[in-house]
Amino acid sequence: MIGGLIELYESTLDQVWLEQARFYAREMIRLFWDNEKGGFFLYGKDGEELILRPKEIFDGAAPCGNSTAAMALMRLAVLVEDEVFAEKSHKLLRSFGARISRNPTAHIHFVTAYLCAQTGITGIVVSGGMDDPQTRQMLKEVRSAFYPFAVYRHEEDNAGDKAVAIICRQHACTSPITNAVEFKRMLDIRR
């Protein structure tokens, strides 16, 4: 659900989806997180108490909840600049790392999340009024190509009328970019 809300935000740039993603991520952590060993249980602490409280890590035809959560939390951490989400994601990967390494093909979405954690999520911020042609072109550039380990957000309020973009990965950022052609070039370098 969190990953879908992030996709909705990136498609519409409507902040309501980002706030919903943040809310559900906090709720997921509150209800499902294992404080002792890390990872997410299959059912929340508000549910009926059973003998076992299992955690799913096998990625079959569909990714399991823990691998999906790892990727969603990494992406959300960069989008909303919240290290708690990044820390939970990394702890989740460490919690299951040994089991995943014994049979990586059974945990392919986890392996993808691990690769993402190692290379880092690229955070792209485009600021500027939607009336500005450079702002619209920058957003078009980021939406028109496939950046598998990247997230982007638009901040209309912070730049006034002039388009400004910044691209960051692992706490290293470009200088502000004000030209759409230069922005595309920098995106391609960081792909």
Is CATH 1.10.3720 what the domain over 122-189 is classified as, yes or no? Answer: no
- Express each pLDDT in 5-48 by its tens digit: 999 999 999 999 999 999 999 999 999 999 999 999 998 888 77
How large a percentage of the chain has pLDDT more than 90?
76
- Express each pLDDT in 64-106 by its tens digit: 999 999 999 999 999 999 999 999 999 999 999 999 999 999 9
> What is the predicted pLDDT for the residue at 157?
67
Residue at 163: amino acid letter: A
- With a cut of 90, say whether residue 49 has pLDDT above it: no
> What is the predicted pLDDT for the residue at 191?
66
Report residue 52 as tokens: 């076992």
User: What whole-number distance in Å separates Cα of residue 39 and Cα of residue 87?
Assistant: 12
Q: Are strands 172-173 and 150-155 parallel, antiparallel or unpaired?
A: unpaired
CA distances from 78 to 16, 110, 117, 138, 179 (A): 17, 19, 12, 19, 23
User: Mean pLDDT for the chain?
Assistant: 92
Rounded mean pLDDT, 120-130:
92
Answer for the pair 36, 106: CB distance below 8 angstroms, yes or no. Answer: no
Look up the pTM and report it. Answer: 0.91
Backbone angles phi, psi at 59, to 5 degrees: -95, 100
- With a cut of 80, say whether residue 160 has pLDDT above it: no
User: What whole-number distance in Å separates Cα of residue 188 and Cα of residue 74?
Assistant: 22
- With a cut of 80, say whether residue 159 has pLDDT above it: no
What is the rounded end-to-end Cα distance, in angstroms, of the chain? 26
Helix, coil or strand: residue 168 = strand
